[in-house]
A and B are shown apart, each in its own frame.
Chain A
Amino acid sequence: MLIEGQDNQKLSRVGARIKSRVDQASDAADEERVSSSQFIPGLFYPTDHSGYAQAFALKRALIEKHDGKALEEVTPGTELVTERGTCYRVETEEGVSIRTIPPKRAKESLLTDFKLLHGVRETTERALKERGYRSIADLVEHDRFGTQALRFLKLVEMRDSGELIEWVGRRFTRSDPLALNASGFHTPDQLLFVDLETLGLFTSPIIVIGVAEAIDETLTVRQYVARNVGEEPAALEALLSHVDASTALVTFNGRAFDVPFLEQRLAYYRIHGNLQRAHFDVLQFARRRWRGLTPDFKLASLEKHVMGARQSDIPSALVPEFYETYLRTQNAGPLVAIIDHNRQDLVALAHIFSKVCEG
């Protein structure tokens, strides 16, 4: 009887069809990303096909170069062992020093804008200032605005950056430059720069979680790499080990992409961790800062504007393709390219953050 063979044949037909549908859905999502200027989850998209052609040439070169070599040989790192299994950690130091807003300047900017109080518009602000109120701190006894002023003052004194961002967000928007001042209440080493490389747009696995921290005058970059899909939970655990009560996140479009993505993955594996905290999304501040000066607000364009173009890189849209090649061939080349790309993104993120903080 042929039953066995026929069943396999049928299932593989069904499997091939679903695979092509998933790929179609993935392509459609890429188109959506590229065409939407509002939503830029990845960081780099070539505007023409030559970008893709270059990337594929790069992939071929990398595969040749790393033929027969394992990731561990090519990219020095350590195997990290967690309760949720293993992942691969790559650590590098970059000569980037992070400049933040001086706390004094931050405090002053926040306390002198009376429009942060509910019910105060420009005319009221002018009137109050004419009557000699110079700071929100002066208003705590005020009949009408006193209670609010006191609450706001307390947040400033307690340096509660998370609540302050929300406060600014309620009165203006969270991307208002005023919100950035809240970052001044963090020492540089409390800032955690985060950038993800993922296999797709939501509900797909994460390939690399990159974090960077400013320690003394250097930027320490740690990348947690899933050498296969099974290593994702360990990478998530590793990320959480960098987060404590005083941590503030710095991302590029992380409010729309990285943080919800991470939350979905944490829930997927039932790992507890709270990423709802002070979060500075550089994309939003950059939009205001460089409006009209760059062709768009992709990280690459900003990076080019602020620090010049990259040497060699892959487009974010090709990350899944590179990773799948790595999985299929077990050639480290394409994965190395993803790790490099992620590190360059983190460095660029740190630079641009410093730049917006300089004002």
Chain B
Amino acid sequence: MLSAREPIFAETAEEIAPNVQAYLRKKGIRLYRHQIKARAALREGKDIVIATPTASGKTLAFNVPIFEELDREHNATALYLYPTKALSNDQLKVLQELELISAVRVNPSVYDGDTPSHKRPKIRTSARIVISNPYELHHVLPWHYKWQRFLANLKFIVIDEAHVYRGVFGSNVALLIRRLRRLCSYYGSEPQFVISTATLANPIEFGEKLTGRTFTLISEDGSPRARKYFVLYNPYADGIGKRSAHQEAKDLFLLFIRNHLQTLCFAPSRKMAELIALWAKNEAEESTPLLADRIAAYRAGYLPSTRRRIEERLRSGHLVGVTSTNALELGIDIGSLDAVIMAGYPGTIISTWQQAGRAGRGQDESLATLVGFHDPLDQYFMKHPGALFGGSHEHAIIDLSNEYITLGHVMCAAAEFPLRLPRDVAYFPALLSESLEELERQGLAKDTSNGWVYSGSGRATEAVPLNALSSQIFKVLCEGRLLETLDKTRAYREAHSGAVLLHEGETYVVEQLDLTNRIISVSKKNVDYHTEPMKTVDLRIVKELEKRPHGALVVSFGIVEVVEQYVGYKTLRYDQVVGIESLDLPPLRFTTMALWFRVPDEAVTQVANEQLDIGGGLHGAEHALIAMMPLHVMCDRWDIGGVSTTCHPDTTAPTIFIYDGFEGGIGLAEKAVELIAEIVTVTRELVTGCSCDIGCPACIYSPKCGNDNKPLDKQAAIVVLEQLANLASAASNR
């Protein structure tokens, strides 16, 4: 139970501007202490990072001082960056209301991929608050001269939901922000930064890495909190479990709804979100049909208008139960709910608290429930709640010295206006001159008397993706009507022919997956089953680029191909398999860079002698190595993948592979090759020193395992890691 807390208000040292005061009065708002502190810091010209919990009034904390400044300074402008279009549109509504009531004219406007081209010039010349996203900003920066007025007067840059920008994506955004700052200085402005984020282990350092500025932390939450119960619900408490965790989640969902708790249920996938809603509706239909209409699913892939409608009906209280993917984890305004169910551990502590934070309004008590799945990771949290409550939140890591990422952004910057040394080292502290020289060797930049100039023939920004999003979009059509869109991987996984596609609680059967035209034809059919694809994953070495000895441990680095083959699918009625069909789909190929090493025979022999499981040992060692990599190569755990096998056809030995989760590779495995001796040593210490018995999230359990953390054998993993560490520290046999 999390106990209640009274609100902590504070008085402002300086009077709030009358216009903005009018808004607060009209809305009956009195500022909390953290909001006052944020305002004071901004007025002193400081950059701030706000890291208070969900629903603590973070938005108001920066909107108030920004509106005051825009009221005082009639040309001043502000840029708000959100990670998604949906969040931008949400913020637009807030700002429009603030403008209307305060009568401070700021003409807030969203400028993103959905903005019609005829509206764009007006926004560029007249909007004082522009709301956008990093992808749009990336493509807009070369056109800076059209934004001259906006950039020259830029006073604030707000980066909301900033914790999303971590790992490789975060490193890309960090360098994008450097490009923006360089342009601001070109036009003579030096905006202040406001970073708003979920709770992190390292908010100040994160802010500095993300923007290159120094931050004041606003973290003492002054908002009131009613009592909240946090329940860990373990269907497998007896070790067996009678029904699946999904069924249990559905039962809880219905139980809460029937007891008049407005409930949001987070599911681990789009399909599960749909299924839980569907099952709950069907069951409610039998007893209380009226209730069935008040249950809905929500997820990415729905058309924006559909999503708006669900959000609206949730806010108004018309919907009493909504199942969702993590699409509702970020700050979309759906009001606060009575209860939240998390069907399965969301993967990070950050997400767990973000999702739990959706429950709790006003003075009423609220409830957050985590339903444990069968895999060892979830079961660990069920048995060790301390890891959730006492444990520290994740670090958000950003790397400013990754060659792949830096080279791309240096090239983009050179295409914006000529780069100069040493002036621009301030924006690219690492690798600037090296990058420029390499770009010159490739004919992409030239050192001229006007500075370093971009000289490529394609658009620089198009060669630099900010993250690994797939650009191949498939359309789902039902009788010619567009139902939703899917990316390529999802299309293979969820929309192969014969698949049951769930959409807004209705079942559709896929008739054809047209790979050439990227069209999925479905027909609406009421079926009482769902489908689950079966796939095989193979990793093939395409080319070994390097063999690096570390002591006696030899690590290979090279290009690999990960091949996913969807071979068939199961049909299931509830959790019961009722049929298996085969599929004829070409394999999905993903080329990336990997490191790999053969595990010494001694380790295999020792594992066998001690009657341990070598498969579980390799798998556990792979997980633990991946867990230790982010701090060494500066990335997020979700940026890397791994495969371990007791005998790989290309190496003819037990082998562990660790690869970059980005098409073509992004330098993570490459950097790890250099540090592998250190990583192996630290990983061995971690696993041998871990006080758990059979494994835990701190050592060999992975939140992103494709095999549900099976098989795992901690003792065997220790043997493997000991052997690897010994090799690494042995004298080189060169």
Contact = CB atoms under 8 A, between A and B. Distances in A.
B716 interface: no
Interface string A243-257: 000000000000000
Nearest to B411: A18
Nearest to B142: A203
A233 B448 CA distance: 10
B193 to A, nearest CB: 25
Interface in B94-150: 142-145
A17 B404 contact: yes
B580 interface: no
A203 B460 contact: yes
A31 to B, nearest CB: 12
Given A205-B453, A263-B145, A15 B417 contact: no
B68 interface: no
B444 A19 contact: yes
Contact of B457 (A267, A268, A324, A328): A324
Interface string A315-359: 000001000100110000000000000000000000000000000
Interface stretch (B333-341, B435-443, B617-625): B435-443
B456 A17 contact: no
B462 interface: yes
Contacts of B418: 268-269
Nearest to A27: B458
A230 interface: yes
Nearest to A21: B463
A28 interface: yes
Interface in A113-141: none
Contacts of A203: 142, 415, 454, 459-461
B462 A25 contact: yes
Interface string B444-458: 101011100111111
A229 interface: yes
Nearest to B441: A15
Given A199-B457, A203-B454, A264 B444 contact: no
Interface string A175-192: 000000000000000000
A78 interface: no
A53 interface: no
A15 B438 contact: yes
B251 interface: no
A230 B453 contact: yes
A262 to B, nearest CB: 11
Interface stretch (A6-14, A69-77, A90-98): A6-14
B403 interface: yes
A16 interface: yes
Contact of B459 (A25, A263, A267): A25
A104 interface: no
Interface in A260-276: 263-264, 266-270
A201 B458 CA distance: 7
B450 A25 contact: no
A26 B457 contact: yes
A268 B416 CA distance: 7
Contacts of A263: 145
Nearest to A11: B438
Interface string A155-170: 0000000000000000
A26 B448 CA distance: 23
A39 B22 CA distance: 51
A84 B450 contact: yes
A202 B459 contact: yes
B289 interface: no
Given A200-B457, A202-B459, A18 B444 contact: yes
B444 A22 contact: yes
Contacts of B417: 267-270
Contacts of B545: 13
A184 to B, nearest CB: 30
Contact of A233 (B143, B411, B450, B667): B450
A15 B459 contact: no
Given A18-B411, A85-B449, A230-B446, A12 B438 contact: yes
Given A15-B441, A25-B463, A268-B417, A320 B457 contact: yes
B514 interface: no
B664 interface: yes
A264 B411 CA distance: 17
A48 B439 CA distance: 34
Contact of A267 (B144, B441, B454): B144
Given A199-B456, A229-B455, A320-B457, A327 B463 contact: no
B142 A18 contact: no
A270 B144 CA distance: 12
A232 B142 CA distance: 17
Interface string B251-280: 000000000000000000000000000000
Contacts of A10: 403, 667, 670
Contacts of A328: 443
B458 A29 contact: yes
Contacts of A264: 142-143, 145
B70 interface: no
B449 A267 contact: no
A98 to B, nearest CB: 32
B458 A24 contact: yes
A38 to B, nearest CB: 13
A23 B458 contact: yes
A54 interface: no
Interface in A188-223: 199-205
Given A10-B670, A11-B403, A25-B462, A230 B457 contact: no
B408 A18 contact: yes
B407 interface: yes
Contacts of A232: 453
Contacts of A205: 453-455
Nearest to B448: A230
A324 B441 CA distance: 13
Interface string B400-419: 00011001100100011110
A264 B448 CA distance: 18
B145 A22 contact: no
A272 B446 CA distance: 23
Contacts of B404: 14, 17
A173 interface: no
Contacts of A25: 458-459, 462-463
A29 B461 CA distance: 13
A228 interface: yes
B448 A229 contact: yes
Interface string B21-36: 0000000000000000
Nearest to B186: A270
Contacts of A12: 438, 441
B685 interface: no
Contacts of B443: 19, 324, 327-328
Contacts of A19: 442-444, 456
Contact of A29 (B408, B416, B459, B464): B459
A199 B455 contact: yes
B140 to A, nearest CB: 12
Contact of B463 (A22, A233, A269): A22
Contacts of B667: 10, 14
B220 interface: no
B11 interface: no
Nearest to A17: B664
Nearest to A3: B674
B293 interface: no
Ordered nearest first, which 3 A-B pairs have the shortest CB separation? Answer: A267-B145, A26-B458, A230-B448
Given A10-B670, A11-B435, A22-B458, 10 more contacts: A17-B664, A18-B442, A19-B444, A23-B458, A201-B458, A204-B459, A230-B448, A230-B453, A264-B142, A268-B417
25 contacts: A11-B403, A11-B434, A11-B438, A12-B438, A15-B407, A15-B438, A15-B442, A15-B444, A22-B411, A22-B458, A25-B462, A25-B463, A26-B457, A26-B459, A27-B458, A28-B462, A200-B458, A204-B457, A204-B458, A228-B448, A230-B446, A267-B145, A267-B417, A269-B417, A324-B457
